[in-house]
Amino acid sequence: QVQLVESGGGLVQPGGSLRLSCEASGFTLDDYVIGWFRQAPGKEREGVSCTSTRAFVPYYRNSVKGRFDISIDNTKNTVSLQMNNLKPEDTADYYCAARKRSATTVRSMCTEDLAADMDYWGKGTLVTVSS
């Protein structure tokens, strides 16, 4: 079965950390660009961070630079998002998505590609940052 499954969301206080994981099954991440996206209530979906096994430099949106770190573990076919110094404005549903490397770039996937362009989406995990 081809799918992406996110985990690791939860409730955390401002300044805290969470580590999100996205496990792929039925396909290998090496052939794809992988991205983390988020959507807060009443707001549009936004690309948080995107990368691939061939990327020299991952993409991060400005508001998370220096706080979030994306990584791929090929042995586990998993992409993770380490989130540090979390802020209330980071509260959102977080989704991972995958698109064939031949069809996009790391930057494009996070900033230009449409949701319908993705080959696979996970169902999401909720991150709530609140005191």
pLDDT the model gives residue 56: 80
| pLDDT per residue rounded down to tens, the chain (131 residues) | 899 999 999 999 999 999 999 999 999 999 999 999 999 999 999 999 999 998 889 999 999 999 999 999 999 999 999 999 999 999 999 999 999 999 999 999 999 999 999 999 999 999 999 99
**How many residues does the structure list for the chain?**
131
Token pair, residue 64, equals 């998370």
- Alpha-carbon distances, residue 65 vs 10, 45, 76, 82 (angstroms): 21, 18, 25, 12
Contacts of 4 (CB under 8 A, 6+ apart): 22, 23, 24, 96, 97, 98, 120, 121, 122
**How many CA within 13 A on the CB side of residue 63?**
10
Residues whose CB is less than 8 angstroms from the CB of residue 109 and which lie 6 or more positions away in sequence, other chains included: 33, 35, 47, 50, 59, 97, 99
Task: Using the Cα atoms of residue 39, residue 44, residue 49 and residue 53 in order, give the sign of their dihedral.
Answer: positive
* Predicted local confidence at residue 84, as pLDDT: 98
Environment class of 74 (CB within 10 Å of its CB; exposed 0-12, middle 13-18, buried 19+): exposed
